[in-house]
Chains A and B, each alone.
Chain A
Amino acid sequence: MSVASDDLTKPVPPKRRLALKPHLIQDKIFYGIARSAAVGAVLIVALILGYLLFMSWDTLAQQGPAFVFGSQWSAADPENLVFQIGPMLWGSLLIAVNGMLLAVPMAIAAAYFIEFLANSKIAKIATMVVDLLAAIPSIVIGLWGVGVFTPVAAHWAKLLNENLGFIPFFNNTSGSFVNSPFIAGWVVAVMIVPIITSVTREIFSQLDRDVINAATALGASRSSTFMKVILPTSSGGIVGGALLGLGRALGETVAIFFVLNLSFEINWVEVVESRGGSIASMIVSFFGAASPEEVKALIAAGLVLFVITLLINWLAAVIVAKAQPWRK
C-alpha cells in the first residue's frame, strides 16, 4: 500500500464545486432575508437616482450646464424660465467647509479626551452627551441657531471683521452680520461633531496601545505622541469620518433654512457677509409656491446634491481604504 502522493499515474478525481448556498431551512430563510436587505438597499438608491433623473431631465436639457454654473433663478415668466443654482451649490459647499473647519478639530479633541485622557466614568458620560447631541432634531438646532446662537455668533463675526477684515473671508460691506454662512457653518458644525467624534473615537480605540506605549517609552510627551504617532496612524479613519460629516453638512436643510439669508448674488468667500446659499434650504423655501416647471428644477437641484454626496461618500471609502495600507 502506497501512502505517498507522488504517484502521477493515478487519475485525478473529478473536481466538484463546493456549495456556498445554505441547505438548512432556517439558514435559507436567514440567507434570503440578508440578501433581500442588501439588494433592497442598492435598489432603493438606484430607484431614487432614476426618479430624480427622470424628473429633472427636462430642466437639465433646457438649462444646460448653466443650471449648475449660472446664478439666476426666475420662474415668473413661463416663456422665459431661468433655473440656475450656482450660488446655492457654492453656498452649500462653503457652509459645509466652514462647518468642517470648526467641527473636525472639536471632534478630534473630544475623541482624544474621551479615549486617552478621561477616566472611564467621565469617558462614558462624555460619550453619552456627544451621542445625545446627535439625537437633537435639526429643527431644534435651527431654532437654537436663530434664537440663541445668532446674536452671539454675529458678535464674533463682527470682531473678526473689525480685527481681520483685511482677509477677504472676513470682509463685510453690508454691515449686517446675521444670516451669514459663518453662522450656518457653526450650526452645521454642532450637528456633525457627534458623527465625526464617534468615528474618530472608534479609530482611536482600535489603535495599537503598544505603539503608543512605544512612543512614551522613547520619551515622547503626550502632545508629540498625539501629533506624530496617533494622528498619522489614524488619519485615514478621521478623514473618512470627516467626509461622512461633510455629507451630512451638505444635505442639512432645516437648521440652515432658519439661520441663512439665501441669495442668488453669489458669495464666494465672505463668510461673515449676510448672504449665502444652500441647495437643500433653497428647495425647502421655494417648493411650497413652485409651479410644475419650477418643481422639476428643484428636483434637478436635489439630483445635483445627491450626486455630490454620493461622490463624497465614495471618496470617503476610497481614502479610508488607501490611507491605511497596513490594515489588512
Chain B
Amino acid sequence: MTNLEIANAHLRSEDVNVWFGERHVLRDVSLTFPVNQVTALIGPSGCGKSTFIRTLNRMHELIPGAGFAGKVFFNDQDIYNPEVDPITVRLKIGMVFQKPNPFPTMSIRENVLSGLKLSGRRGYNADEIVETSLRRASIWNEAKDRLSDPATSLSGGQQQRLCIARSLAMEPDVILMDEPCSALDPGSTRRIEETIVELSESMTIVIVTHNMQQAQRVADQTAFFLAEDGMPGRVVEFGKTEDVFNRPTDPRTNDYVNGHFG
C-alpha cells in the first residue's frame, strides 16, 4: 500500500467485516480512497466487492440479516458511530446502481430534482441544478428539449447517465458506482467512462467493475477482491491501477488480471 496519500483521504475503511446471517462474506477490508481519485474494485463474482461498496454509504444495513464490524471514516468521522444518521451519510456519499433505475413516475427533470424533494430540501434554483447536473453527467444535450418526458423514454445508457445526474444534484463528495455499465452497450459504456473521468476532477469515485479494461481506463487505483474456497472475501492486492495490472505482487492477482480465472 505504497504511494497512497492517506492524509488526503476523506473516505477510508478500516477492518470492515460483513456477514449475511451466519455467513461471513468479507474479512478485514481496509481501503483508502483519496480525494478526487477513482478507485476500481475488481474480482470474480461472489468476492464481496458489491457488498463492500454498499458498506461505504450504509446501504448494506438495509439487507435483512446483514451483519457488520469495522469502521468507515468519512472526513475523519466513523459513519457507523451510533450517533451518525445514515441519511446524512447518503446525502454526502451518492450511489449509482448496476441497472439504470430512474423513478418511473417522474419526468427527466423531476428525476434530477428527486433527491432534493425526497430529502425535503427547499430554496434551491431548480432550473440551474437541472442544467448543471445533466451537463456534468453529459446528457444535457440529449435531454434539454425533452425535460418533461418520462425518464423511461430514454435509452438504457441515457437512463444511467440520468441516474448519475440525479446523484450529482445532491452535490455529494463521493459517488459509489456498482457495475454502472454492466447493463449497457459498448457505446454507452464509453460515454459513462468519459463522464467518470471528468467527474473525478471534482469528486471521489469508487467503482465496482467486472471489466478489466474499464478499470484500467478510468481508475487511479485498484483493489482486487478474492473469496477462496468458501472463505470470506478479502482484498488480495491494492495499489495504483498500473501496478496492479502490470506488476502485481500477488500471483493470484496476476492470474486474474491476465484472464486465467474469473
Which chain A residues have a beta carbon within 8 Å of chain B's beta carbons?
Answer: 119-120, 208, 210-211, 213-221, 224-225, 228-229, 232-233, 325-326
- Looking at the assembled complex, report how far the CB atom of A26 sits from the nearest CB atom of chain B, in whole angstroms: 41
Instruction: Among A120, A214, A326, find the residue whose CB has the most chain B CB atoms closer than 10 A.
Output: A214
| Inter-chain contact A213/B119, CB cutoff 8 Å | no
Closest residue of B by beta carbon distance from A323: B105
Closest residue of A by beta carbon distance from B91: A219
Contact sample, A vs B, 28 pairs, CB 8 Å cutoff: A208-B101, A214-B95, A214-B97, A214-B103, A214-B163, A215-B114, A215-B118, A217-B57, A217-B95, A218-B91, A218-B94, A218-B114, A218-B118, A219-B88, A219-B115, A219-B118, A219-B170, A220-B118, A221-B119, A225-B118, A228-B114, A228-B117, A228-B118, A229-B105, A233-B103, A325-B150, A326-B105, A326-B152
Q: How many B residues, CB 8 Å from partner? A: 30
The answer for the CA separation of A300 and B101 in the assembled complex, in Å, is: 52
| Inter-chain contact A218/B166, CB cutoff 8 Å | yes
Which residues of A lie under 8 Å from residue B59 when comparing CB positions?
213, 216-217
**Residue-by-residue, is B108-136 near A (CB-CB < 8 Å gives 1, otherwise 0)?**
00000011011110000000000000000
| Inter-chain contact A218/B101, CB cutoff 8 Å | no
| Inter-chain contact B118/A224, CB cutoff 8 Å | yes
Instruction: Among B59, B87, B117, B166, find the residue whose CB has the most chain A CB atoms closer than 10 A.
Output: B87
The answer for the CA separation of A213 and B61 in the assembled complex, in Å, is: 12
* Residues A211 and B104 in contact in the complex (CB < 8 Å), given A224-B120, A228-B117, A326-B150: yes
- Looking at the assembled complex, report how far the CB atom of A97 sits from the nearest CB atom of chain B, in whole angstroms: 26
- Looking at the assembled complex, report how far the CB atom of B158 sits from the nearest CB atom of chain A, in whole angstroms: 15
Closest A-B pairs by Cβ, 6 of them: A220-B118, A218-B115, A217-B95, A219-B91, A210-B101, A232-B105
* Residues A120 and B101 in contact in the complex (CB < 8 Å), given A218-B94, A219-B170, A225-B118: no
Which chain B residues have a beta carbon within 8 Å of chain A's beta carbons?
Answer: 57, 59, 62, 64, 87-88, 90-91, 94-95, 97-99, 101-105, 114-115, 117-120, 150, 152, 163, 166-167, 170
| Inter-chain contact B97/A213, CB cutoff 8 Å | yes
Closest residue of B by beta carbon distance from A220: B118
- Looking at the assembled complex, report how far the CB atom of B101 sits from the nearest CB atom of chain A, in whole angstroms: 4
| Inter-chain contact A219/B90, CB cutoff 8 Å | yes
| Inter-chain contact A217/B99, CB cutoff 8 Å | no
Closest residue of B by beta carbon distance from A120: B64
Which residues of A lie under 8 Å from residue B105 when comparing CB positions?
229, 232-233, 326
